[in-house]
Structure 1
Amino acid sequence: MLIGLNNVTFEFGARVIIENATWHILPGDRVGLIGYNGTGKSTILKLLVGEYQPSAGTVDKSRETTIGYLHQDLLSFDTNDSILEVAMGAFEQVKQLEKEIEELGKQMEHPSFTGEGEEEALLHAYSDKLHELEVLGGYNIHHKTEEVLQGLGFLNADLTRPYKEFSGGWRMRVLLAKMILQQPDVLLLDEPTNHLDLPSIEWLEKYLLHYKGSVVIVSHDKYFLNRMVNKIVEVYQQELHIYSGNYDYYATEKELRVEMQQRAFENQQDYIRQQERFIERFKAKASKAAAAQSAMKRLDKIDRIEQVEIERPNLRISFKVDKQPGKIIATIKDATKKFGSNTILENAEAEINRGDKIALIGANGKGKSTLLRMIVGSEPFEGERIWGHNVDESFYAQHQLEALNINNTILDEMKECGSGKTEMELRSLMGCFLFSGDDVDKKIRILSGGEKARVALAKVITGKGNFLMLDEPTNHLDMHSVELLAEALNKYEGTSVLVSHDRFFISKTANTIWEIVDHEIKVFKGGYEEWVEWKERREKEEKAQASQQAKEEKEKEKPVAVVKPQQQVTNATREQKKELEKLQRQFSKLEEQIEQQNKTKSSIEAELANPANYADRNKFAQIEADHKAIKQKIDQANNQYEALFEQIMTLEKQIG
C-alpha cells in the first residue's frame, strides 16, 4: 500500500463528507474518483495529501511514498521564469548536482590545482558527481521537459516565454508537466482535462497509461476514464464504493448491484410478510404459540436488507424556443482573422442551417472560441457574418462565470438578466438548477465553480433563444449533470454551435462537426464517432498509400524476377483458400463455444432468480461472480467472432 484511508470520517461543521471510509491505493492503480458535485471528491484528495485531518480514523502513508497533487489553487503561483524553467523545477536534485559540479570544476581550474593530495580527492568528488548525474538521467532533462511540454500543446517558440504571460489553462498545463516529470509514486489530478484540448487529452492518456506510479483522477470525462482507469471509487451517500474496472464497467456493475439488492430486498420483504401473517394468526393459539414465538425470534435476528434508493441531484433543464427562424441561421463569408502573424482563418466560408447541432473541435490555438465569438459578433474580423430571418441568439461562455456579479445574490443576478419573469417564476427556475428555498439568497462569491456554471446556464435558458452558442458548457459539471444537459440539447428544437473537449458530450449532442484546418472551416455532416472513424480511415489510407509508394520505390531498385503471371495468381489463390478454410473451421468452433456459453449464462441467471440462494451470502456472492465471469467470456468471444467474420469476408472477396 502506498497511501490509504482507514475507517476515516471527515466533517465540515455539521456536514458529514465521508463516514467510516476505507480505501487503499496500491502500486499500479489508476483510479477514477467520481461523484456528484458537492459530494467531496476534492476534499478526499486534500485528506490524502494531509491538507485536512480526519475527524476519526487515520490516513496512512509509507514514509518513502511521494505524492504529486494538481489542483485549481496552484494557479495563484506566479513567476517571470520561462515555462521551460518552471517545468524543469521537477529536477531539483539534478539542478543541485549541476551547481555542485560547476563549483568543483571552477576549483579544479584554479592555478593552485595540481591533482595531488587534497586535489586528488577533489577530482574523485568531481568524477562521482558526474556519475551520479548520469544515473539520474541529468543529461536528458532538457529533452524530457521539452517532450512533455510539447505533448501538452506548447510550441517550441513558447518554451522560453515567461510563465506569467500565459492564461490560467496554459499555466495549469505547465504545472501538470512539472508534476509528471517529478514522477511521484502517486499522482493526484483534480479535473486535469478541463484545461486540455483533444490532442493534449489523447497525449496525456497515452503518457499516463505507461506511467510507472499510481494515478488518482477526479474527472467528469467518461471517455478519458474509460481509457485511463482500472478502478473506480465513487463517493456516494458519505461512503466510498470501490469497483474494479473502467467507467463503463462501473456503470454496468452498479446497475447490477442495485438490481440484485432490490430483488433481495423484495424477496426478504415477502418472507417477512409471510412470517408476520403466521405470527398474527397463531400467536393466540396455545398449540401454535411456541412456533409463533420461534418465528418472532427469527424475524428479530434477521439481517435486514435495505431498499435501494438512488439519490442524485437532477438538473431539470428545458431549453424553450419563442419563435421559429428561417432555414438559414447564419452565413460566414470571406472571413479572415489574424492575431499579428498568427492567421486563424483566411477567406473562410460556412453556413449554419436550422436544426444543425454543430461541435467545433480541434487543438487549442486553432481558433475555435475565436470563431464562436465571430459568429456571436463580439470578435471583429474581415468579411461578413449574415444573420438569417428571425434569429434570436443566446451565448454561454466560460468568461460569463467571471462576468457574474460576485456581490449579487443568485436571485438578484437572475433578475438583472432581463427575462421579464416574476420572482416566483425565477425561484421555480432556479429550483430546476438545484437552488432550492433559501439557496437563491446565497451570494455569487461563495458559490463553487459548478454552482456558478449552473447560474450562467440558467441565465442562457431564460432567453428562450432559437440559436444557442455554448463555449465549454460542461466544465465544472458532474457526469450526471453533463448527461442531463446533453439530453436537454437533444430535445432542444433550435440550432446550436458548441465548443467542447468532452468527447462523451460531443458524441451525444452533435450532428455536424466543424474543424479549422489550414485556415478554413472543414464541415463533416455526421456525429463525433462517425467523424473519428472517418479520420482513422483517412489516416490508414494515407499510411497505406505512403507505404505502397515506398514499396514501389524499393521494387524499382531491385532486379526484376521473371514469374509467369498465371502461376503467380494460382499460388496466391491456393494459399488464400487454405487460410480461408482454416478461418472457417475456427469460426464454426467459436459459434459452438458462444452457444455453450449462452446456455451456461442462462443457467446462472436462473440461479440468480431463485430466492432461496439469497439466504446464503457466500453462495449468492459465488453465483454473482460466475455471472460476471461468463459475461466477460461471452463479450471476448463475440469480439473474436466479429474479427473472424471480417477476415473471412475480406478473403472471400479477394479469392472472388
Structure 2
Amino acid sequence: MIKVDNLSYSFPQKDLYNKISFTLEDGEHCAFIGTSGSGKSTLIDIIMDSENYMFDGSLKIDPNCKIGYVSQFPQLDKTKETTVFEYLCEDFIKLQSEITSICAEMETSSEIEPLLEKYQEALDLLDATFGDDFESDLNKKLNLANLSNLKDLMVSELSGGQFKLIQVIKEMLNSPDLMIMDEPDVFLDFENLNSLKNLINSHKGIMLVITHNRYLLNHCFNKIIHLENMELQEFDGRYIDYNFTLLQTKIELQELAIADDEEIKRNEQIINKLRDRAEITGETSAGRYLKARMKFQERLEARRIKTPFVEIKQPYIRLTTNNQIEEKIALKINDYSVSFDEMLLENVNFEIKSNDKVAIIGLNGTGKTTLLRDIFKNNHPAIEINSDIEVAYLSQLQGEVLNESNTILEEFLDAGFKTYEDVESYISNYDFDEEIINQKIESLSGGEKNILQLAKVSASKSNMLLLDEPTSHLDTYSQIALEKAIENYNGAILMISHDYYFIINCVDYVLLIEDKTIRKMNMRKFRKMIYSKYFDKDYLEIEQKKKSVEMKIALALRNTDFERAKTLSEELESLIKLL
C-alpha cells in the first residue's frame, strides 16, 4: 500500500532522515516510535502531502489508497451547534443530500445522461465509503468506545478527550484503507484510553500510529517502525518483543564496543611510541611502520560499533528548588467550587504539605485543569498558598507557558538568563543542540515543547510545581528521565496525569475527582480501583516487575557488568512470556 525507499530529508537547522525505507501492507497495525523531535510527525506530513516536500529517495502510495487522519491537536469548535450523532454523520448526510439534489435535477433536466453518470458516481462513492450499514456501524463504534450516551450531546459540550475519540470514530466511519493517527492517546483518561484501544483493535485496515503510551504499545500493534538518529528500522511483531530485542542488542554491542575501545587505545599507544622513535632516530623504517599503524587505526575507527537504535538520547531532567523548607502546609483548599454551564466541583477541601507528591485523577472534563490553573493564579478566595512557597506551572496547553513566537534563546533570556552562553549551557542538558537555540519554539515538536517547559519550570527553582499532564507528547525515555527528576525533587508536586505507570512511580497519594468532589486515596486503594475498573491486575503487576528488571539491566550496563546484564535479560524474557 505504501513503500518508502531511501528517503532523505533535512530542515535548514538539522537533518531528519538518512536514506530510510519501510513498507505498510494489508493487515498491519503499525506503531511509529522514536524520541521527541526525531521527525515522526514530519514523516506523516510527507506521506499525507508529498508534493509540498523536497526530499531525496522515493515514496510510492497506491493510487487507490484512501487515507484517514487524526491530528495530534484536533480543534474542538465550541461554536458548532451540532450533536455528536449529526457530527459523525456529517459526510454521510452530505453525500445523501448530493444524491437527492441530483435526483431533483433529473426530474426537470432535458440532458439526463450526464446526470445519470453523476448519480451513479455518487451512489458508488456512498457504497464504497459507508456501505449499507452505516448507522449500525456508527452505533457499534460508539458502544465500543463507551460513548453511546453522548450521541445527543452537543459537540461543543465534549471534553478534549471525548472529542479525540469522536474524531477517531469519524475517520474510521469513512472506511479508510490507511488510518494515520498522531498521538491519539494524549490527555485521555483511563476509561477513554481503553476505548481507544478497543477502536484500534477493531479496525480492519492498515494503521500507522505515533504513540509513546506503553499500554497501547503493548496491546494494539503487530509491527513497529522506530525512527532514531536519522535512521529507521522495522520490526514485525509486538512492541514488547521489539523492546527486548533492542535491549539484547544493546548488551551485545556495548560489550563489543568496549573491546573495540581497548584495541583502539592499545594501538594509539603504539602509534605514540613509533612517532617518538621516528622523531628521535629519523629512521625511514620507523616512519613507514608509523604510517601503517595510523592506517590500521583509521580502519579500527571506521569499524567502531555504530548503534543508532541503542544510543538513544535521554534528556537530563533536573527539578531544583532554591531552598528546601521544613515540612509545613504548602497549599490549603477550603470549600472550593467551580462551574461553567453546570457545576464541575463543589465544596472541595484538601491540603498539601511542602514535600508531598500528589496526582489529581478523574475522568476527562471533571475540572482538574481548571482547579490547577486557579491554584497557579492564586486569586480565588478558597485557595491559600503558604507565603514561603514559590509556585511554577506546566500547562497541557504549551502556549500558556511558552511564547511560541520566541526563539529558545529569547524565551530563556526573558526568563532571567543573562547571556547566550548561559542559555546554551543550560538547555544542552535537556538535549537541545546549540544550532537550534535560535529556532522558533512554534517549529518544535510537541515533545520538545514539553521538555522546554520542564527546563523553564526547573530554572524557576520553585518549591511547588503544578504539572498538567507533564508526560504528554514525551517519548518513553523522557518519561523515565522525568520520573527520576520527580523522585529527586525536594519540594511539593501537584500534577494531573492519566499515565498509570507514571502515577505509581512518582506520587505519595492521589486526589480522586468523583461526584463533583475530591477525596484523598492512598496508593493501595488506587491500585485496587485501577485493577477493578480499568486495567488487568496481572498485566500491570508483571509490567512493574519487568520495568524493575530493565532498570537493573541499565545499572549493570553502566557498571560494564555484562554477565549480570545477560542473567537479568533471561529473567526479563521469562516475564515477557507471561505477558
Smaller-chain TM-score bracket:
0.7 to 0.9
Q: Structure 1's 320 and 84: CA in aligned 2 closer, same or farther, altered over 3 A?
A: same
Return the alpha-carbon distance in structure 1 between the equivalents of residues 264 and 336 of structure 2: 73
Deviations for 1:529-588, whole angstroms, at most 9, x for unmatched residues? x72434434899xxxxxxxxxxxxxxxxxxxxxxxxxxxxxxxxxxxxxxxxxxxxxxxx
Matched, 1:315 2:307: no
Q: Structure 1's 325 and 53: CA in aligned 2 closer, same or farther, altered over 3 A?
A: same
**Residue matched to 1:533:** 528
Q: Structure 1's 215 and 130: CA in aligned 2 closer, same or farther, altered over 3 A?
A: closer
Return the alpha-carbon distance in structure 2 between the equivalents of residues 522 and 14 of structure 1: 49
Task: Give how far 1:322 is off.
Answer: 1.4
After TM superposition, the score normalised by the length of structure 2 is 0.73
What letter corresponds to residue 197 of structure 1 in structure 2?
Answer: D
Q: Is this contact kept in 1: 2:191–2:534, CA < 8 A?
A: no
Matched, 1:49 2:48: yes
What letter corresponds to residue 141 of structure 1 in structure 2?
Answer: F
**Residue matched to 1:328:** 329
Question: Aligned-residue CA RMSD in angstroms?
Answer: 4.7
| Match 2:134 to one of 137, 141, 164 | 141
Matched, 1:21 2:20: yes
What letter corresponds to residue 181 of structure 1 in structure 2?
Answer: L
Q: Which runs of 5+ in 1 are unaligned?
A: 111-117, 281-292, 541-607, 610-623, 641-656
Task: Give how far 1:174 is off.
Answer: 4.0
Return the alpha-carbon distance in structure 2 between the equivalents of residues 8 and 141 of structure 1: 39
Deviations for 1:592-635, whole angstroms, at most 9, x for unmatched residues? xxxxxxxxxxxxxxxx99xxxxxxxxxxxxxx9xx99x989855
Q: Is this contact kept in 1: 2:331–2:352, CA < 8 A?
A: yes
Deviations for 1:53-83, whole angstroms, at most 9, x for unmatched residues? 5633322233443221222476499984625
The number of residue pairs the alignment matches comes to 516
Deviations for 1:274-313, whole angstroms, at most 9, x for unmatched residues? 9999xx9xxxxxxxxxxxx9xx99x999x94625471515
Return the alpha-carbon distance in structure 1 between the equivalents of residues 133 and 397 of structure 2: 40
**Residue matched to 1:338:** 339
Q: Is this contact kept in 2: 1:8–1:54, CA < 8 A?
A: no
Return the alpha-carbon distance in structure 2 between the equivalents of residues 131 and 44 of structure 1: 32
1:257-268 paired onto structure 2 within 5 Å: 257-264=249-256
What letter corresponds to residue 89 of structure 2 in structure 1?
Answer: M
Q: Structure 1's 444 and 201: CA in aligned 2 closer, same or farther, altered over 3 A?
A: same
**Residue matched to 1:414:** 412
What letter corresponds to residue 47 of structure 2 in structure 1?
Answer: L
| Match 1:386 to one of 384, 407, 412 | 384
After TM superposition, the score normalised by the length of structure 1 is 0.66
Higher mean Cα deviation, 447-456 or 131-140?
Answer: 131-140
| Match 1:468 to one of 465, 468, 489 | 465
**Residue matched to 2:70:** 70
Return the alpha-carbon distance in structure 2 between the equivalents of residues 273 and 467 of structure 1: 48
| Match 2:474 to one of 474, 477, 491 | 477
What letter corresponds to residue 66 of structure 1 in structure 2?
Answer: K
Q: Which runs of 5+ in 2 are unaligned?
A: 274-291, 536-561
Return the alpha-carbon distance in structure 2 between the equivalents of residues 273 and 346 of structure 1: 68
**Residue matched to 2:394:** 396
Return the alpha-carbon distance in structure 1 between the equivalents of residues 438 and 128 of structure 2: 60
1:168-183 paired onto structure 2 within 5 Å: 172-183=164-175
What letter corresponds to residue 346 of structure 1 in structure 2?
Answer: E
| Match 1:238 to one of 223, 230, 234 | 230
**Residue matched to 1:563:** none
Matched, 1:38 2:34: no
| Match 1:518 to one of 515, 522, 533 | 515
Return the alpha-carbon distance in structure 2 between the equivalents of residues 269 and 433 of structure 1: 27
Q: Structure 1's 7 and 470: CA in aligned 2 closer, same or farther, altered over 3 A?
A: same
Task: Give how far 1:267 is off.
Answer: 6.0
| Match 2:189 to one of 197, 201, 215 | 197
Q: Structure 1's 365 and 445: CA in aligned 2 closer, same or farther, altered over 3 A?
A: closer
Task: Give how far 1:410 is off.
Answer: 3.2
Deviations for 1:96-133, whole angstroms, at most 9, x for unmatched residues? 3576469769999x9xxxxxxx9xxx9xxx9xx99998
1:228-307 paired onto structure 2 within 5 Å: 228-264=220-256, 304=303, 306-307=305-306
**Residue matched to 2:495:** 498
What SS class does the counterpart of residue 194 from structure 1 fall into? coil
Return the alpha-carbon distance in structure 2 between the equivalents of residues 458 and 269 of structure 1: 34
Q: Is this contact kept in 1: 2:324–2:490, CA < 8 A?
A: no
Q: Structure 1's 314 and 134: CA in aligned 2 closer, same or farther, altered over 3 A?
A: closer
What letter corresponds to residue 536 of structure 1 in structure 2?
Answer: Y
Q: Structure 1's 80 and 395: CA in aligned 2 closer, same or farther, altered over 3 A?
A: closer
What letter corresponds to residue 396 of structure 1 in structure 2?
Answer: L
Task: Give how far 1:256 is off.
Answer: 0.9
Q: Is this contact kept in 2: 1:325–1:388, CA < 8 A?
A: no
Deviations for 1:156-204, whole angstroms, at most 9, x for unmatched residues? 56756366x8787766544332112123122111111125333222101
What SS class does the counterpart of residue 185 from structure 2 fall into? helix
Return the alpha-carbon distance in structure 2 between the equivalents of residues 228 and 254 of structure 1: 19
What letter corresponds to residue 8 of structure 2 in structure 1?
Answer: T
What SS class does the counterpart of residue 315 from structure 2 fall into? coil
What SS class does the counterpart of residue 186 from structure 2 fall into? helix
Task: Give how far 1:516 is off.
Answer: 0.8
Q: Is this contact kept in 1: 2:92–2:126, CA < 8 A?
A: no
1:405-444 paired onto structure 2 within 5 Å: 405-417=403-415, 422-423=418-419, 425-437=422-434, 439-444=436-441
Q: Percent of aligned positions with the same letter in both sequences?
A: 26
Return the alpha-carbon distance in structure 1 between the equivalents of residues 574 and 13 of structure 2: 49
Return the alpha-carbon distance in structure 1 between the equivalents of residues 124 and 148 of structure 2: 33
What letter corresponds to residue 45 of structure 2 in structure 1?
Answer: K
What letter corresponds to residue 456 of structure 1 in structure 2?
Answer: Q
Q: Comparing both structures, which one devotes a greater share of its residues to helix?
A: 1
Return the alpha-carbon distance in structure 1 between the equivalents of residues 402 and 576 of structure 2: 51
**Residue matched to 1:453:** 450
Q: Structure 1's 428 and 58: CA in aligned 2 closer, same or farther, altered over 3 A?
A: closer
